[in-house]
Structure 1
Amino acid sequence: MARLDKRIDELVADYIQNKLTQEDVDLFITKREAEIVRALQSVEGKVSMLAKFETFHDNPDFLTQQLASIKALKVKDIKRIFEQYIDNKANVVLSIVPKGKPELIVQQDNYTPKFYEPKAFEEVPGEVQLPSITDSFDRSIKPQAGVAKPITLPDLWQAKTENGIDVLGAFDTETPTTTLLLQIPAGRLYDPENKAGVALLTVEMLGQATTEHTPSELAQQLAKLGAEITFEAKSEYIEIKLSTLSKNLTATLDILSEKLLQPKFSESDFARVKSMVSEYSKSERDSAKFLADSALSQVMYQEGNYSKPWLPSQAELAAIELADVKSFYAQQIRPQGSKLSIVSDVAEPKLMSTLTVALSQWQGKGELAMAAPKFAALDGNIVYLVHKENAPQVQIRVARHAVAEDLTAEHFKSQIMNFAFSGSFNSRVNQNLRENKGYTYGIGGHFSGYGDAGQFVISSGINAANVADALKEIQQELSKINEHGLTDEEIQFTRNSIAQRDALKYETPAAKLNFFAMMHAHNVDAGIVDVRAKTIETVGKKELNQLASKYFTPAEMTYVVVGDTNTLSKQLEGKGFTVKQLTIQ
């Protein structure tokens, strides 16, 4: 470590003094400008910036001056700061070494922090006179939420590219940026039989070298543009996210086109990616949360892609060859059926023209079909137990099948119904298990859905000594709401809270894109915002309680527990549960 510490100092000094170029500085300038502009996309970002400038510069409108200073940076400025504050200056070096290996430290300690021992409090004789405080309001009374402000979306437009991509866009001039989300129907539910993990590996390979450039060269190009492009494999879609300053949109789209249309698919990249995914899969499979979620999928679905963990096993990875990735790419990474959501300060005609040029060479339609769910019957008295040795905190899942996702019908109304039960910090289950019993730091539940499947899931990390009691408490809470429903106060709390919360769902470009993706998925127009707001306000107590009666029946739930079977089996059986050992696929 001593040699490493010395070498780091030498490399940094050599780079700053001898190798730093104006091109490097310009790259930083562009990146920093993009970061500042993106920070202005939310109210929180704006307020934070105003407060910072007011605090440190006595001028909340200091942004223009800051940007001017950044854009004026030269190599000599960086060298001056390095010499003034870093080079050969006093510093703190902290060595963290394996226990029993003190010889590995950088050097012998020459400083020991002083132990702070608080002074003993002195008892004051007589009665303490409390200061008189006058308030303009009663702090013991919970403030009432005001009327939710109406949600306004920017003007939306719809289009379709010549190669078959459905486009939903919004013209937004708040910041000079363009943000887009491209969803290609090629997620993990499209994995061919016996090839779990192909979609994930394909996505990772799209982020590697192209036939024209190495990954580092592409990263350098994006950095110069202040742009970001990411690829991610979701359940139904491969999602590509792009964010850039609008002045650099054409150049950024050119890079996206190159990544999408000209992947190199080299053996060396594939070996590295496969090794990386393998190590990540090993790490995640040691996580109690991953084990719990994976076990739940295995219990709720009989077989197929719905029943599999989102990360492939070592055996599944070993069965995938580069030829499988190339085949999946050729069959499924195609534009027809893809969805593009975009928020930009560039007007629709120019934006569509730019998109058409960038993506015109991408052609075709996917050939594979998405897997259909095969629902398993659930037994409300069985606890499926996954072994994790000596786990002090246990992950639990309580779940059932439910209706698939919709935006205004039963799924949406079930979300409203659940808000006061397990969908908020003040919910019944969190107040009981966290505040009253102290079994957990937090517990929550939600209705979710993708593809043709829907489910309700309660999840939490529970103290190992209280797992059986926690499950019994959850069952009791389910029985109470099933039989008696919600109170008038809970329903009013739900209406106010959701209406206030949803206002932020459409604030930033990223938030808008997520909402546009839902609009794409359900083929609805912008009027859906008003319909949802109206539903929140008008759905009746009777209908909500009917949904509670339908979905919150303990006997129709399934229970998954991840922890040490040596102690949990007896604890659970002692409370009347039937325990079945489960091994993750």
Structure 2
Amino acid sequence: MLVSLLAACDQGAQQQESQPESQPEQQKVEQSTKVAGVTLVETVKAQPGKTVIPYEKYVLDNGLTLILHKDNSDPLVHVDVTYHVGSGREELGKSGFAHFFEHMMFQGSENVADEQHFKLVTEAGGTMNGTTNTDRTNYFQTVPANQLEKMLWLEADRMGFLVDAVTQEKFEVQRETVKNERGQRVDNRPYGRLSERVSEALYPAGHPYSWPVIGYMEDLNRVNVNDLKAFFLRWYGPNNATITIGGDFDVNNTLKLVTKYFGSIPKGPEVSMPEKTAVTLDSDRYISMEDNVHLPLLYMSFPTVSVRHADEAPLDLLSTILGGGKTSLLYKNLVKNQIAVQAAVTHPCAELACTFNMYALPHPASGKSLADIEKIIRDTLKEFEKRGVEDDDLLKAKAQMESAFVFGLQSVSGKVSQLAANQTFTGNPNYIEEDIARYANVTKEDVLRVYKQYIQGKHAVIMSVVPNGKPEMIAAKNNFNAPERKLAEASQTSEDELQLRKAKDDFDRSKIPVAGANKPVDVPQMWQDELANGIKILGAQSIETPTTSVLLKVSAGHYYETPEKAGLSSILSSMLNESTKQRSAEEMTKELEKLGSYVNISSHDHYLTINVNALTKNFDATMVLVKEKLLQPAFEQSDFDRVRNIAIQGVKNSKKNAGYLASTAYRQLLHADNIGALPGGGTEASLANLTLQDVKSFYEKHFKPSGGQLIVVSDLGQGAVKKGISMLSDWQGKGPKLALELPQPKSETGVIYLVHKDNSAQSAIRIGKRSLTRDITGEFYKSYLMNFPLGGAFNSRINLNLREDKGYTYGARSYFSGDRLSGSYTASAEVRADATDKSIVEFINEIKNYAEKGITAEELAFMRNAINQKDALKYETPGAKLGFLAQILEYDLTPAFVKQRADIVDSITAEEINALAKKHLKLEEMIMVVVGNSKVLKPQLEALGYKVINYEI
């Protein structure tokens, strides 16, 4: 639970870096292709025994790089456009521009109307997004194969024809959206400003990594729309971009389409690699911050190298030895003995710099201060100096590296992303083999050398984050203040200063390309079986990567608990990840890491689930360890005490998160006084009630194979897979059937339940009611279709209103959710605190208008196209196939349900949808939950005419 709160602490962990071009075993080609204006540079083919992504690389006359990866395994294509520009190319005082353009690029261009990009991609049955980091911005879509030309038209229009469509009005709306994003992801999130503060202290003033990727809001407030346009004209030319296309397409036709839509876009200014300035510190810099958190945190950051530097790989390995999970030294010295609830080491890298980061959150019961934690961390470094590097350290790192690369190739999007990043930062799409080699070649001496060079005796930024009003908890007195941002008076760009570039075409760009017929999508071929102990098996073969994925579902979830012991299943799942009768948790983790295998055990409402991902060559060995985990848990008292205490601290910490508070209150109000009202992870009180004997008894009673469901996707055939699974046949027993009813609650409807959260930059809103239980082809599914244009897509009524029109939120939606016992209808968002009452009004208006006036003909057509063209994306990866097969097994379906759903989408009428809306969107039956500063919000909400009830979690 704490991990999610700290996941954003290290920015740029996946960023790459530019290095001299290196192209092993590639066929260099100099001649031009038959398509005018585009030159074939090289062809790389698959090589037996090597991890290679086949591709062809081209360059257009305007400098645009094109990479094509053909993969006919599924009738879809993935299109990625990566621009070599991130926050690291921004100027002092003009931060956040690169991220801002991630938003603006979806707001329409000269030939694409406002919000039309989202509409066209969604209607095509596709998915899309954009991301920004310090060094690059990318935009990507995955769509059915017949939609490729439309995607190229969309991407070309925003590359070559965006500037004239960037209006002051769009600028203002998206500036509000960015502020909402910052509020949700940074300001309103525990520890959210940690990375920003550390970067300000670590890098010298003016260094492009000294400001956050999202930027400072005062910078966006002081610039005008022409400043944004000038930034676009400087960096978003075709010569600073790479288009990578993967999937099912015709190469020659694609070359013609890319040349048609992109070839006439004029080249932008020349782009050179920014200077890399080594970052050094002349002393330890102690800084601190008070935050709305439950637990204090100590964070140490050492400057190191830059990505793909020769020392990056050994530094990564060093970070794993010191703080990479249960086999690490920090885990042993801080977490295992309950001094800290969490401790880790990371080494994120970016184009200009990397940092070696160590952090820990002390356990309140340990009595240790942040100063104590710092000393233990420094003592751990001394311990490493004596311990050195062991053989298993290298074996684990190399196995994990191999499996990470292979698992990354399971989807077309994964392969395209790898090609695009490698081309952008190295000039060589085929860098994957070199990446593997540089980790495989790390020696013990390399790890010790980089430790001495970058960590031992070196200075760091040491950050203390302490609860509000507790400044005395910091590790040491602050001795460093980041230089004040001295910004020159804003010099805004005039329209005359813009150096516009216009493409000249011999075709009409305003015409949207018409897609051909959808290619048929084959439902995965399945096989069924059952073990003698009652575990039902459903499997499918996927030969694209040498991997095997297993999902085992056991009827031992949250619903099998009693309210006073809520959290039992969750604690059991954690205990199954601890010691066995044969091995300690550390030894088990080490064995799995040496295989490059991943085992995740987690608890849900109905089931306790075991997810296994392994390289097929290590599948049998992995299943031996999985069997040991499941059937021979040691249930050590020390493991239980630590797991339970960490869970309690996680609940306390989560209460600082507005989204957690809203969801928890909402769940309580939707259910009567039973287990359904309580969070799956338990409450502070219920977790404190648990004993080790409770866990043992729950395991012995409920963790039984009979009735279990096992779904498997592998490149192996049924016989070979069955061999690996059959070792679970020794597991015997049958648990009790679930005897649980979830009656309707007595919560007051038509009112607002207000949960207080101090200093809340945003308010979390939930509006909804108990509703249908889940079905596959019945009223629940039809209601999902009904809600799609209201709140089920990006360009739904609710999201366009609250996000795009009003700028109140980063995102708003509505949805039906449910299982076999209960269901609900929910509208939700996190909104600007000062727009809480206005957001409630807009939510209510949208739901009311849709219920009263119904769906439009355009929305009905949009919904049909969007839903029925999604099939190509449903079965692509092993993970997607697992989810699809799991649904079939749980609801006892045949593959024919896919056609039944398609027929429903085609035949459902506006009258049916409108009747469902009137039936299920009755506002008088709904409750509203708002989390925020109650002192400010209560009078505002009462002014809307609602009864407001103060509610405590």
Give the TM-score normalised by structure 2.
0.56
Are residue 176 (structure 1) and residue 546 (structure 2) matched? yes
Q: Report how far residue 510 of structure 1 moved.
A: 1.5
> Hey, what's the Cα distance between the residues in 2 that align with 1:274 and 1:484?
51
> Hey, what's the Cα distance between the residues in 2 that align with 1:112 and 1:469?
39
Indicate the residue corresponding to 1:507 in structure 2: 876
Are residue 164 (structure 1) and residue 534 (structure 2) matched? yes
Which segment is superposed worse, 546-555 or 534-543? 534-543
Could you say if the C-alpha distance between residues 231 and 440 of structure 1 is closer, same or farther in structure 2, counting changes exceeding 3 Å? Answer: same
Letter in structure 1 aligned against 2:631: L
Indicate the residue corresponding to 1:463 in structure 2: 832
Residues 145-160 of structure 1 correspond to what in structure 2 (within 5 A)? 148-160=518-530
Indicate the residue corresponding to 1:521 in structure 2: 890
> Hey, what's the Cα distance between the residues in 2 that align with 1:120 and 1:565?
41
Q: Report how far residue 432 of structure 1 moved.
A: 1.5
Which segment is superposed worse, 523-532 or 493-502? 493-502
Aligned partner (choices 736, 760, 765) of residue 391 of structure 1: 760
Indicate the residue corresponding to 1:260 in structure 2: 630
Aligned partner (choices 578, 583, 605) of residue 208 of structure 1: 578
Could you say if the C-alpha distance between residues 435 and 264 of structure 1 is closer, same or farther in structure 2, counting changes exceeding 3 Å? Answer: same
Are residue 104 (structure 1) and residue 476 (structure 2) matched? yes
Aligned partner (choices 656, 662, 668) of residue 292 of structure 1: 662
Deviation sequence 1:93-151 (CA, Å, 0-9, x none): 33435779999379879x96995648846879x89885544356777777777755443
Indicate the residue corresponding to 1:490 in structure 2: 859
Residues 44-59 of structure 1 correspond to what in structure 2 (within 5 A)? 44-55=413-424, 59=428
> Hey, what's the Cα distance between the residues in 1 that align with 2:761 and 2:450?
49
Are residue 568 (structure 1) and residue 940 (structure 2) matched? no
Q: Report how far residue 6 of structure 1 moved.
A: 10
Letter in structure 1 aligned against 2:504: T
> Hey, what's the Cα distance between the residues in 1 that align with 2:761 and 2:885?
42
Are residue 452 (structure 1) and residue 824 (structure 2) matched? no
> Hey, what's the Cα distance between the residues in 2 that align with 1:202 and 1:535?
41
Indicate the residue corresponding to 1:322 in structure 2: 692
Indicate the residue corresponding to 2:731 in structure 1: 362
Could you say if the C-alpha distance between residues 500 and 78 of structure 1 is closer, same or farther in structure 2, counting changes exceeding 3 Å? Answer: farther
Letter in structure 2 aligned against 1:504: L
Describe the SS at the equivalent of 2:463. coil
Describe the SS at the equivalent of 1:372. coil
Letter in structure 1 aligned against 2:585: P
Which segment is superposed worse, 307-316 or 209-218? 307-316
Higher RCO by CA contacts (8 Å cutoff, separation 6 or greater): 1
Tell whether the 8 Å contact from 2:764 to 2:932 is kept in structure 1 after alignment.
Answer: yes
> Hey, what's the Cα distance between the residues in 1 that align with 2:475 and 2:451?
31
Tell whether the 8 Å contact from 2:533 to 2:706 is kept in structure 1 after alignment.
Answer: yes
Describe the SS at the equivalent of 1:167. strand
Could you say if the C-alpha distance between residues 144 and 463 of structure 1 is closer, same or farther in structure 2, counting changes exceeding 3 Å? Answer: farther
Tell whether the 8 Å contact from 1:13 to 1:87 is kept in structure 2 after alignment.
Answer: no
Tell whether the 8 Å contact from 2:563 to 2:686 is kept in structure 1 after alignment.
Answer: no
> Hey, what's the Cα distance between the residues in 2 that align with 1:101 and 1:323?
37
Q: Report how far residue 251 of structure 1 moved.
A: 1.1
Q: Report how far residue 371 of structure 1 moved.
A: 2.3
> Hey, what's the Cα distance between the residues in 2 that align with 1:228 and 1:271?
25
> Hey, what's the Cα distance between the residues in 1 that align with 2:497 and 2:436?
58
Which segment is superposed worse, 279-288 or 156-165? 279-288
Aligned partner (choices 646, 650, 653) of residue 280 of structure 1: 650
Q: Report how far residue 470 of structure 1 moved.
A: 2.1
Which segment is superposed worse, 131-140 or 7-16? 7-16
Aligned partner (choices 801, 805, 810) of residue 441 of structure 1: 810
Q: Report how far residue 540 of structure 1 moved.
A: 2.2
Could you say if the C-alpha distance between residues 25 and 516 of structure 1 is closer, same or farther in structure 2, counting changes exceeding 3 Å? Answer: same
Could you say if the C-alpha distance between residues 509 and 370 of structure 1 is closer, same or farther in structure 2, counting changes exceeding 3 Å? Answer: farther
Are residue 337 (structure 1) and residue 707 (structure 2) matched? yes
Could you say if the C-alpha distance between residues 367 and 547 of structure 1 is closer, same or farther in structure 2, counting changes exceeding 3 Å? Answer: same
Aligned partner (choices 85, 93, 113) of residue 460 of structure 2: 93
Q: Report how far residue 457 of structure 1 moved.
A: 0.4
Letter in structure 2 aligned against 1:565: S
> Hey, what's the Cα distance between the residues in 1 that align with 2:380 and 2:935?
52
Which segment is superposed worse, 152-161 or 524-533? 524-533
Tell whether the 8 Å contact from 2:388 to 2:448 is kept in structure 1 after alignment.
Answer: no
Describe the SS at the equivalent of 2:399. helix
Structure 1, unmatched stretches of 5+, are: none
> Hey, what's the Cα distance between the residues in 2 that align with 1:58 and 1:33?
23
Are residue 238 (structure 1) and residue 608 (structure 2) matched? yes
Could you say if the C-alpha distance between residues 144 and 387 of structure 1 is closer, same or farther in structure 2, counting changes exceeding 3 Å? Answer: farther
> Hey, what's the Cα distance between the residues in 1 that align with 2:550 and 2:463?
43
> Hey, what's the Cα distance between the residues in 2 that align with 1:18 and 1:436?
60
Q: Report how far residue 79 of structure 1 moved.
A: 5.9
Describe the SS at the equivalent of 1:559. strand
Aligned partner (choices 156, 174, 192) of residue 562 of structure 2: 192
Letter in structure 2 aligned against 1:454: G
Letter in structure 1 aligned against 2:916: L
Q: How many residues align?
A: 579
Which segment is superposed worse, 378-387 or 412-421? 378-387
Q: Report how far residue 75 of structure 1 moved.
A: 3.9
Q: Report how far residue 491 of structure 1 moved.
A: 1.6
Describe the SS at the equivalent of 1:386. strand
> Hey, what's the Cα distance between the residues in 1 that align with 2:696 and 2:809?
46
Indicate the residue corresponding to 1:410 in structure 2: 779
Tell whether the 8 Å contact from 1:270 to 1:322 is kept in structure 2 after alignment.
Answer: yes
> Hey, what's the Cα distance between the residues in 1 that align with 2:757 and 2:474?
32
Indicate the residue corresponding to 2:245 in structure 1: none
Identity within the alignment, %: 34
Are residue 476 (structure 1) and residue 810 (structure 2) matched? no
Could you say if the C-alpha distance between residues 136 and 520 of structure 1 is closer, same or farther in structure 2, counting changes exceeding 3 Å? Answer: farther
Tell whether the 8 Å contact from 2:524 to 2:875 is kept in structure 1 after alignment.
Answer: no
Q: Report how far residue 68 of structure 1 moved.
A: 5.3
Q: Report how far residue 11 of structure 1 moved.
A: 6.7
Deviation sequence 1:146-180 (CA, Å, 0-9, x none): 75544334321111111110111111111111111
Which segment is superposed worse, 414-423 or 45-54? 45-54
Which segment is superposed worse, 245-254 or 492-501? 492-501
> Hey, what's the Cα distance between the residues in 2 that align with 1:312 and 1:128?
58
Letter in structure 2 aligned against 1:298: Q
Indicate the residue corresponding to 1:541 in structure 2: 910
Deviation sequence 1:69-98 (CA, Å, 0-9, x none): 654554456567778x74789x87334357
Tell whether the 8 Å contact from 1:378 to 1:556 is kept in structure 2 after alignment.
Answer: no
Could you say if the C-alpha distance between residues 317 and 73 of structure 1 is closer, same or farther in structure 2, counting changes exceeding 3 Å? Answer: closer
Indicate the residue corresponding to 1:306 in structure 2: 676
Could you say if the C-alpha distance between residues 28 and 542 of structure 1 is closer, same or farther in structure 2, counting changes exceeding 3 Å? Answer: same
Letter in structure 2 aligned against 1:583: E
Tell whether the 8 Å contact from 1:17 to 1:79 is kept in structure 2 after alignment.
Answer: no
Describe the SS at the equivalent of 1:208. coil
Tell whether the 8 Å contact from 1:394 to 1:461 is kept in structure 2 after alignment.
Answer: yes
Tell whether the 8 Å contact from 1:394 to 1:463 is kept in structure 2 after alignment.
Answer: yes
Q: Report how far residue 287 of structure 1 moved.
A: 2.1
Q: Report how far residue 514 of structure 1 moved.
A: 1.6
Letter in structure 2 aligned against 1:183: K
Which segment is superposed worse, 364-373 or 391-400? 364-373
Indicate the residue corresponding to 2:98 in structure 1: none
Describe the SS at the equivalent of 2:890. helix
Question: More helix by proportion, 1 or 2?
Answer: 1
Could you say if the C-alpha distance between residues 16 and 159 of structure 1 is closer, same or farther in structure 2, counting changes exceeding 3 Å? Answer: farther
Tell whether the 8 Å contact from 1:296 to 1:397 is kept in structure 2 after alignment.
Answer: yes
Which segment is superposed worse, 6-15 or 530-539? 6-15
Letter in structure 2 aligned against 1:278: I
Q: Report how far residue 554 of structure 1 moved.
A: 1.5
> Hey, what's the Cα distance between the residues in 1 that align with 2:747 and 2:403?
50
Deviation sequence 1:434-473 (CA, Å, 0-9, x none): 2223322221111100231111101111233332332222
Residues 542-561 of structure 1 correspond to what in structure 2 (within 5 A)? 542-561=911-930
Indicate the residue corresponding to 2:254 in structure 1: none
Could you say if the C-alpha distance between residues 137 and 512 of structure 1 is closer, same or farther in structure 2, counting changes exceeding 3 Å? Answer: farther
Give the TM-score normalised by structure 1.
0.89
